Structure 1
Amino acid sequence: MHIDNDIYKEIRPYNDDEVSGAIQRLIDDKDFINAILKYRFPHASGMFGWLLIPLIKRFLVKKWSGIKSVKDIQNQVAKYMQGTIEHSCDGVTCTGLDKLDPNKAYLFVSNHRDIAMDPAMVNWCLYKENFNTVRIAIGDNLLKKPCATELMRLNKSFIVKRSAKGPRELMKSLGLLSSYISHSLETGNNIWIAQKEGRAKDGNDKTDPAILKMFFMEGRKQKVPFSEFMRNLNIVPVAISYENDPCDVAKAEELHQKASTGSYEKGEFEDIESIVQGIIGQKRRIHISFGDVINSVPETPEELAVEIDRQITENYHLFPANYIAANIDSEIVTDEERNKFALKLENHSDSVNDILKQMYALPALKKQQQHSM
């Protein structure tokens, strides 16, 4: 197993026998300990922060002493998720898993609204229904610090090398990624990947055919026709719907700046701040909808993207804010909900508010359009 896996060594998640070493590296990592200091003890992290460092390390050694395997980590993450859900949302609902077989491996292609919470919520639903949790595709743009890489690879993440330089290196890394995804599915491991690179900041969930072409690189190498190879991947579109997006204003401001100045410069820790905000910010209700396995695959990546989009639009769960923003009548819209949405639009410019409204309106408008076709 390990010999076979070694061609994926640079990108794959850690195996059981690598867990203890990774945990030790985290405990010895200055950036990691300082991050804990900053988020857990913000008032003490200044002048006397160094006094707390040995205590934090000792605490972690004790807390993590029982963690020996990937499964142990998944159980820890599940406990953490339980707390996050209780503090930051009003409940999670899930549909569609009854159509899937816990003994099969699926390639979950989902819309992408939140960096950390999207795969975490998919995992939470799978975990609760006794399905295997997913291996998560994560861009190396989020792994600027070694401790981030350690944490992600401990949590079943594999690395998508977006920073590859030059066409040859890019093709090589995409080929390895394609091969790793096929290998994972063949060996009974579920995969989660976003339908396109980066979040849908404008609320428009659209699949990038380039992602599907990447899946097929392994099929092309094996000389298997597109539709046959893709059918064997057991692709399941997943629609993730947040009643409230904790990063909505930040996204709207970024899009507004891009539209008005032509560019937007990301701050050094902006991705990390988005991750933290997405985890701790109020999301109200969340719904995860697992679609149907795509068994009759069209002949081209573009047509397959259309089918994935159709299912995500169809299965997207609409909340009152979506109807209000789209100006569509619905019995679930109350005066209280209208007031809540109006509050969201306070203290921003009209241009930012237009983007905010569009962000919440698009899923409802797209569904309406789909139904009228």
Structure 2
Amino acid sequence: MATNDNFDDIRAFDNSEVRATVEALAADEHFRKSMSVISGGIPFETIATVMRSCDTVRQFQERVCYPIVTTFIRRCSSGVQLDITSIPNREAPHIYISNHRDIVLDSALLSIKLLEQGLDTVEIAIGDNLLIYPWIRNFVRLNKAFIVKRGLTMRHQLEASMELSQYIHHTIAGKHQSVWIAQREGRAKDSSDETQESVVKMLAMGGGRDIRQSLAGLDIVPLTISYEFDPCDYLKAREMQMKRDDPGYKKEAKDDIQNMSIGISGQKGRINYKTGRPLNTYMQTLDGTAGKPEMFHELTEWLTREIHRNYTLYPCNYVACDMLDGTDTHSAHYTADDRRQFAAYLDGQLAKIDLPAPDMPFLKHCIVNMYANPVINKTKAQCAQH
């Protein structure tokens, strides 16, 4: 089994590195300012005292991160629910593969809710494109994040994918730690969540030549995250128009920072996490004679359907679906007040978009489509269920 020395450039930090990392963070002026803002004005020396009381990663998460995240849950949501009843053995390590809505909170809220159920937190896959400051890199690795390398050449990408896969297998089998990973690179801007086959292929790489045996050892569980409202919806719509108007448009680091900040502090309404059936259950039904391309395609499609099948749908989703179609097909799921409130919400979000020439019909369609797609995709998944 591989040791930490094999993965030093990507792995999460361990207990032996807590004290040195805490001191590095405490000395970083950018971190000090960020923590003072995030904590709601608590003097940094008070925060630093708590940080320095931590000898383990678990203590750092419980004493520093848990209070901060739970404060944001109270301020910015109507509560978070986690349903993991579909997992036969919740104590065993496995991979949660989920849709991706919020850069920071998707994995953070999962770990918080697992802690509250008496379970361990997860190791988290995070793209290095988000680690724009040294303190962010240190902070996330202290919070059990491991690094996914982005923007590499084809040859280096293959090497990085193998290293990443081997690390994930080591984390499950050697460290007995569960892992969270998004079903695709980046967030689905239109909320139409599709699993990337490349993610499934990467997961299979590190466990030997047999696909099913390799993936079975990871005990993959699809996880569906449903936010009632996405505070970054208007930023996503803005990005869609910018890409439409300029196909060469590329986000800058400041755009990710803005998305992270608004995603954390914006109002989200109700939030629901729900696991689906384990992938191992489905793999047992597959034809063992299928070739690798067919196998990867089938597994990828099933993960997507299972994530879609477990959406929690809110009145705003049904309203958006009817607005998109110009019908009242789903009116049994919402009231006239729900429709008025969503229309007012749309107007408020559209008003936040700062573009020289905003195409309001296009932008409105983008946001409405984001909220309608979970209804559309769940309906399709239920029809195709097997």
The residue that corresponds to 1:337 in the other structure is 338
1:183 CA displacement: 0.6
The residue that corresponds to 1:128 in the other structure is 116
1:119 corresponds to 2:107: yes
The residue that corresponds to 1:144 in the other structure is 132
1:189 corresponds to 2:177: yes
1:36 CA displacement: 4.1
- Matches of 1:128 and 1:87, distance apart in 2: 18
Aligned residues: 356
1:32 corresponds to 2:31: yes
Superposition pairs of residues 1-373 of structure 1, within 5 angstroms: 4-36=3-35, 58-76=45-63, 77-97=65-85, 99-164=87-152, 166-187=153-174, 188-219=176-207, 222-223=208-209, 225-295=210-280, 296-297=282-283, 298=286, 300-327=295-322, 328-346=329-347, 348=350, 349-373=360-384
Question: Contact between 2:22 and 2:52, CA under 8 Å: does it hold in 1?
Answer: no
1:330 CA displacement: 4.5
1:163 CA displacement: 3.3
Question: Contact between 1:27 and 1:60, CA under 8 Å: does it hold in 2?
Answer: no
The verdict on how the C-alpha distance between 1:314 and 1:98 changes in structure 2, with shifts beyond 3 A counting, is: closer
SS of the residue corresponding to residue 104 of structure 1 reads coil
Question: Contact between 2:317 and 2:371, CA under 8 Å: does it hold in 1?
Answer: yes
Question: Contact between 2:36 and 2:44, CA under 8 Å: does it hold in 1?
Answer: no
1:39 CA displacement: 6.2
SS of the residue corresponding to residue 272 of structure 2 reads strand
- Matches of 1:115 and 1:286, distance apart in 2: 15
Aligned AA (1:326) = C
Runs of 4+ in structure 1 off by over 6 angstroms are 38-42
Aligned AA (1:103) = E
Aligned AA (1:346) = D
The verdict on how the C-alpha distance between 1:240 and 1:40 changes in structure 2, with shifts beyond 3 A counting, is: closer
- Matches of 1:172 and 1:237, distance apart in 2: 26
What's the TM-score, normalizing by structure 2? 0.87
Greater Cα shift, 206-215 or 29-38: 29-38
The verdict on how the C-alpha distance between 1:322 and 1:41 changes in structure 2, with shifts beyond 3 A counting, is: closer
Question: Contact between 2:318 and 2:331, CA under 8 Å: does it hold in 1?
Answer: yes
What's the TM-score, normalizing by structure 1? 0.90
- Matches of 1:212 and 1:26, distance apart in 2: 35
The verdict on how the C-alpha distance between 1:38 and 1:283 changes in structure 2, with shifts beyond 3 A counting, is: closer
Greater Cα shift, 119-128 or 178-187: 119-128
- Matches of 1:154 and 1:278, distance apart in 2: 21
Identity of aligned residues (%): 33
- Matches of 1:371 and 1:58, distance apart in 2: 53
Cα displacement string for residues 39-91 of structure 1 (whole angstroms, at most 9, x for unaligned residues): 6799xxxxxxxxxxxx9564343232211111101213222222111111011
- Matches of 1:61 and 1:209, distance apart in 2: 43
- Matches of 1:25 and 1:249, distance apart in 2: 36
The residue that corresponds to 1:51 in the other structure is none
- Matches of 2:13 and 2:253, distance apart in 1: 27
Question: Contact between 2:97 and 2:181, CA under 8 Å: does it hold in 1?
Answer: yes
The residue that corresponds to 2:357 in the other structure is none
- Matches of 2:368 and 2:88, distance apart in 1: 35
Cα displacement string for residues 87-144 of structure 1 (whole angstroms, at most 9, x for unaligned residues): 1101112223363423201111000011011111221221121222110000000112
Question: Contact between 2:7 and 2:167, CA under 8 Å: does it hold in 1?
Answer: yes
- Matches of 2:277 and 2:203, distance apart in 1: 19
1:301 CA displacement: 1.5
Question: Contact between 1:102 and 1:130, CA under 8 Å: does it hold in 2?
Answer: no
The residue that corresponds to 2:353 in the other structure is none
Quote the RMSD (CA, aligned, Å): 2.1
The verdict on how the C-alpha distance between 1:128 and 1:57 changes in structure 2, with shifts beyond 3 A counting, is: closer
- Matches of 1:134 and 1:243, distance apart in 2: 24
Structure 2: 5+ residue stretches without partners: 323-328, 351-359
- Matches of 2:46 and 2:80, distance apart in 1: 32
Question: Contact between 1:94 and 1:125, CA under 8 Å: does it hold in 2?
Answer: yes
Cα displacement string for residues 277-315 of structure 1 (whole angstroms, at most 9, x for unaligned residues): 111110000010111111132552211111101111110
1:214 CA displacement: 0.7
The verdict on how the C-alpha distance between 1:34 and 1:124 changes in structure 2, with shifts beyond 3 A counting, is: closer
Question: Contact between 2:272 and 2:312, CA under 8 Å: does it hold in 1?
Answer: yes
Cα displacement string for residues 125-184 of structure 1 (whole angstroms, at most 9, x for unaligned residues): 2112122211000000011211000110010000001133x2332222111100000011
Question: Contact between 1:33 and 1:56, CA under 8 Å: does it hold in 2?
Answer: no
